[in-house]
Chains A and B, each alone.
Chain A
Amino acid sequence: MRLTDATVVIRPRSQWEAMDLGIRLARRHAGLLMASWAIITLPLLGLLSALLWSYPSIAVLIFWLLKPAYERLPLYILSQALFGHTPSLSASLRALPGLLKPQLLASLTWRRLSMTRSFDLPVLQLEGLAGQARSQRLVVLGQKGTAGATWLTLVGVHVEMALLFGLFALLYLMLPMQVEIDWSWESLINPDSHQWLWLEHLSNLLYGLLLVIWGPVYAACGFTLYLNRRSELEAWDIELVLRRLRQRVTGSAYALLLLAGLLLSQWPAPALADDMPVQCQPEQLAADHPDAPRLQLQHLDSDSARYAIAGLLAEPPFEHTEQVTRWRLGDPQELDEERIKAWAERLKALFDWWERSSGLALVVESLLWGLCLGLLVWLAWRYRQWLQAFGSRLRLPRRSPAEVPPSQLFGLEVSPQSLPQDIPGAVLALWTEQPRAALSLLYRALLSHLLHERQLPLKASHTEGEVLALVQRQQHEPLSQFCQQLTTHWLQLAYGHRLPPADSCQALCAQWRQLFTTEPRP
């Protein structure tokens, strides 16, 4: 391989540019590449189809699996053509058996699905590496070349699909209209009809044809990616510059060297020895001589030498000592028995003391409980408003109004004790003097009766109208009628400031007697 003979400009390129170069390369040798590819693959596809006529899918699968084998020939052609020795078609075909030999099984089986197939092939084929050496080399090369090769494979898959669909469409467009105006797709798709088979074989053929176009391009792109990586690693471009430089200056270099030699011969002798004049004393010369007795009497045996060497190696330039501090679990053995015993004794003493001073424990306990209760009381006090408003939603036990009826309603005293024994009598007595007080007393008595006898859940927030509605819900006709009358009169008096008619008082008192005297008051 002589770099100066390369037919491409060798310089560091980006991966995409390298792939571009591959396409240009494939285009330049398109005829040779495609012809050789077609000569190998198309007969093979024909053979496979003939053998597996009833199983076209398996035929195309095998054809697809064999793809790495076909790619070796384009790589061979390109590698020769790169340095100007483009082989002829027959020569390259003759070289094929030799190319197929190395590691064919691996390529077709476990390396078949490798995304960097095109990039790895030159290592195998051109460098002839195998096993450990190959994988090491791939690691070195793959540090920067893998991404491009992977993208190349991905793009390749899509290009193949696009070409396949395109060829199908082209075929369909080529059908004369008279032959088939309306293609009956159903009959094609129908697996029972035998038309299905030839269509599959047709698609296999189309696949084979499109590989004739794309296969060499793919191999060429992988090859240029590889070339690019190597020229980067081995600085081929710099080497080329240096070579060119050498070619240019070779002629004049000898004259220049001669001139320099002549000039340097006039140079004064080095005066280094002037500073420290060394007198070659005969004694010293004799002492430093290898045959001197001082050197001969030394007994340096291999052990001491090894020891000295080990000592040297243990020192800084050869030995790098670093101190690392990190946390780790304690060693269980470190707790010695003594300390455990001491701890146990101390604990035991503590418990003993605690048992002896039970009075203190009681005090502490009561203090703690007191604190707890105090906290609860404080919390209840702190949130009393909240509890008042939403206590019902928390389902706290509530005193029902029936159990402890309020003693005041609407600002009126309604407990039975606060009322006179004979209510109608008291009302009639008050009526002439203080009609308002009289009516108020009657209304109070009614409320008290409703609260205590009828167990009506009256609250301070109930208005007179709501009380009336509650009474009417009791379905006690005379009582609700009486309530209606009394409430009307009471409202008139309290909020309208109008006195009820004089005879209404008698009527109300009479009704009261009629309603309530039969029931004994508690």
Chain B
Amino acid sequence: MSEHTAEPTPSHDDTAPAVTAVPPAASAATPASAPSSQRQRASQLAQALRQELHKALIGQQAVVEDVLTALLAGGHVLIEGVPGLGKTLLVRALARCFNGEFARIQFTPDLMPSDVTGHAVYDQASEQFKLRKGPVFTHLLLADEINRAPAKTQAALLEVMQERQVTLEGRPLAVPQPFMVLATQNPIEQEGTYPLPEAELDRFMLKLRMDYPAAEEELNLVRQVTRSAKADMLEVNPLRSLLQPRDLLALQKIASDLPLDEQVLDYAVRLARSTRSWPGLALGAGPRASIALVRGGRARALLRGGDFVIPDDIKGCALAVLRHRVRLAPELDIEGLSVDQVLSQLLDQVAAPRL
């Protein structure tokens, strides 16, 4: 038995703050007053957000869960799925729920970087150049079919995804906070597409696979859609807007302050590191994967309503975090194995935290 928690806790009461038990490495010292109640409210908000989203997007529980994870962890999401599964609907519903701005860019082969970030235009009346901000200045950015645009346009997103700013005419301009990119791509049509470069892929915190809904859910979905006034999609108008962008920033802050045990941190790092030496993988995940695992774990813990991160939180988002950061060994690729299969084997072999 390891002697990890030598510090005694002042009280055995569950409701009392347990901050002193948090190891110093896990989180910064939070104000001792009522972080727990704050956390509880945050959890309730997050769960209410999930409830609202489920109203809009029927089925797809896992996807909603993962998108909320990325939202709380401040990461970006790449969604892969065949058309018509409600990717755009999900983003619109999300923007509506937290009262944020929403912009959509349809990526096409002739889209230019300036169409994404913005550019300077000459104003004849005032006889000077005026900066015209692109659609990237928003809270939620839907990059639809991101792999239809060539690499130079895809690269226009690199800066804004990592630094949350856009450099226009030499001036760095910050994008509104919170900022989140949801990109979609279609897994079947590969004709005339440009695969995302590794640097771009690595900036997405999660890559989600959207699959067809289950039979019962689809029945429910069709019933609701056909009842709606719009032609063939669910409406997002009836959704309540639960929180303001400001509140979402607070939620992100609370999530990042959730206590994390050293062992759990070690588990996350071991998971990411094991991909580098795994025989079935030609290319392993980088340090961004470890970071994303930990952030994802914290966000999931908040969504779960927990006060701390447990190994299940890490393991739950490991597949989505690692999926796009590894490359399958050619022999397994030829055998017809998918990345997900190999990664689940890996998750099955890496030992859970030891105490």
Interface centre among A388, A390, A440, A498 (most CB of B within 10 A): A498
Q: List the A side residues contacting B278 at CB < 8 Å.
A: 389
Considering the complex, give the chain B residue whose CB is closest to the CB of A493: B5
| With known contacts A436-B1, A497-B23, A389–B264 Cβ distance under 8 A | no
Do A497 and B355 touch across chains, with their CB atoms under 8 A apart? Answer: no
Distance in Å from the Cβ of A390 to the closest Cβ of chain B?
Answer: 7
Q: Are B1 and A495 in contact (CB under 8 A)?
A: no
Q: Which residue of A lies closest to B342 (CB)?
A: A389
Asked if B350 is at the interface of the complex by the 8 Å CB criterion, the answer is yes
Q: Is the CB of B280 within 8 A of A410?
A: no
CB atoms of A466 and B312 under 8 A apart: yes
Tell whether, in the assembled complex, residue B22 and residue A464 are in contact, meaning their CB atoms are under 8 Å apart: no
**Interface window among B8-16, B72-80, B83-91, B130-138:** B8-16
Question: Are A462 and B18 in contact, CB atoms less than 8 angstroms apart?
Answer: no
The answer on a CB contact under 8 Å between B9 and A498 is: yes
**Known A-B contacts A460-B351, A501-B12; A437 and B21 likewise in contact (beta carbons under 8 Å):** no
A464 and B308 alpha carbons, distance in the complex (Å): 14
Q: What 0/1 pattern do residues 22 to 49 of A give for CB contact below 8 A with B?
A: 0000000000000000000000000000
Q: Is B167 located at the chain interface by the 8 A CB criterion?
A: no
Chain A residues within 8 Å of B18, by CB:
496-498
Check A461–B22 contact: CB distance below 8 A: no
Interface size counted on chain B using CB atoms at 8 A? 38
B345 touches A496 (CB 8 A): no
B279 touches A389 (CB 8 A): yes
A463-484 residues at the B interface, CB under 8 angstroms: 463-466
Instruction: Encode A483-507 as 1/0 by CB contact (under 8 A) with B.
Output: 0000000010111111111100000
What A residues does B157 contact at CB under 8 A? Answer: none
CB distance from A491 to the nearest CB of B (A): 5
**Given contacts A437-B1, A460-B352, are A386 and B279 in contact (CB under 8 A)?**
yes
How far in angstroms is the closest Cβ of chain B from A391?
11
Contacts of B261 in A (CB 8 A): 494-495, 497
Residues of B close to A313: CB separation below 8 A: none
Contact of A388 with B349 in the complex, beta carbons under 8 Å: yes
Contacts of A465 in B (CB 8 A): 310-312
Check: A298 CB closer than 8 A to any chain B CB. no
Residues of A within 8 A of B280 (CB): 389-390
Q: Which residues from chain B contact A461 at a C-beta distance below 8 Å? A: 347-352
Count residues of chain A with CB under 8 A from any CB of chain B: 30
CB distance from B301 to the nearest CB of A (A): 10
The answer, yes or no, to whether B309 is at the interface (CB within 8 Å) is: yes
Partner of B312, one of A386, A411, A463: A463
Complex interface bits, B303-319 against A, C-beta within 8 A gives 1, otherwise 0: 00011111110010000
Complex alpha-carbon distance, A493 and B9, angstroms: 11
Central interface residue in B2, B312, B346, by most chain A CB within 10 Å: B312
Q: Which of B5, B21, B352 contacts A410 (CB 8 A)?
A: B352
Q: Is A95 an interface residue (CB 8 A)?
A: no
Specify the chain A residue showing the minimal Cβ separation from B14. Answer: A501
Which of B12, B13, B22 is within 8 Å of A497, CB to CB? B22
Is B330 an interface position by the 8 A CB rule? no
Q: Give Cα A105–Cα B7 distance, bound, in whole angstroms.
A: 123
From B23, B315, B349, B355, give the contact of A463 (CB < 8 A): B315
Contacts of A499 in B (CB 8 A): 9, 12
Asked whether, in the complex, the Cβ of B21 is within 8 Å of the Cβ of A498, the reply is yes
Q: Which B-chain residue is minimally distant from A390 (CB atoms)?
A: B280
Q: Mark A388-428, 1 if CB is under 8 A from B, else 0.
A: 11100000000000000000001110000000000000000
B9 touches A389 (CB 8 A): no
* Contact residue among A412, A459, A494, A501 (Cβ-Cβ distance under 8 Å from B13): A501
A357 in the interface, Cβ–Cβ < 8 Å? no
In the docked arrangement, what's the CA distance between A491 and B301, Å? 13
Quick check: A495 and B12 within 8 Å, CB to CB? no
B171 is an interface residue with CB less than 8 A from chain A: no
In the bound assembly, the distance between CA atoms of A500 and B13 in angstroms comes to 8
Residues on A with C-beta less than 8 A from B345 are: 389-390
Q: Which residues of B contact A495 (CB under 8 A)?
A: 261, 263-264, 308-311
Q: Cα distance A407–B76 when bound, in Å?
A: 42
Q: What is the bound-complex CA distance between A501 and B263, given in angstroms? A: 24
Within 8 Å of chain A (Cβ to Cβ): is B353? yes
Question: Is the C-beta of A385 less than 8 angstroms from some C-beta in chain B?
Answer: yes
Tell me which residues across on chain A come within 8 A of B178, comparing CB atoms. Answer: none
Does B150 touch A at the CB level, under 8 Å? no
Interface membership of B354, Cβ < 8 A: yes
- B62-102, CB < 8 A from A: none
B259 at interface (Cβ–Cβ under 8 A)? yes
Chain A window 447-469, contacts with chain B (Cβ cutoff 8 Å), 1 for yes, 0 for no: 00000000000011111111000
List, in ascending order, chain B residues with CB within 8 A of A389's CB. 278-280, 345-346, 349
Shortest beta-carbon distance, B233 to chain A, in Å? 36
Where the two chains meet, the residues of A that have a C-beta atom closer than 8 Å to any C-beta of B are: 385-386, 388-390, 410-412, 436-437, 440, 459-466, 491, 493-502
**Beyond A436-B1, A495-B261, 4 extra complex contacts between A and B, CB < 8 Å:** A464-B311, A464-B312, A494-B263, A498-B14
**Contact surface of B with A, Cβ cutoff 8 Å:** 1-2, 5, 7, 9, 12-14, 18, 21-23, 259, 261, 263-264, 278-280, 306-312, 315, 345-355
Subset of 16 A-B contacts with CB under 8 Å: A389-B278, A389-B345, A389-B346, A410-B354, A412-B355, A461-B351, A463-B315, A495-B311, A496-B307, A497-B7, A497-B21, A497-B259, A497-B308, A498-B14, A498-B18, A502-B12
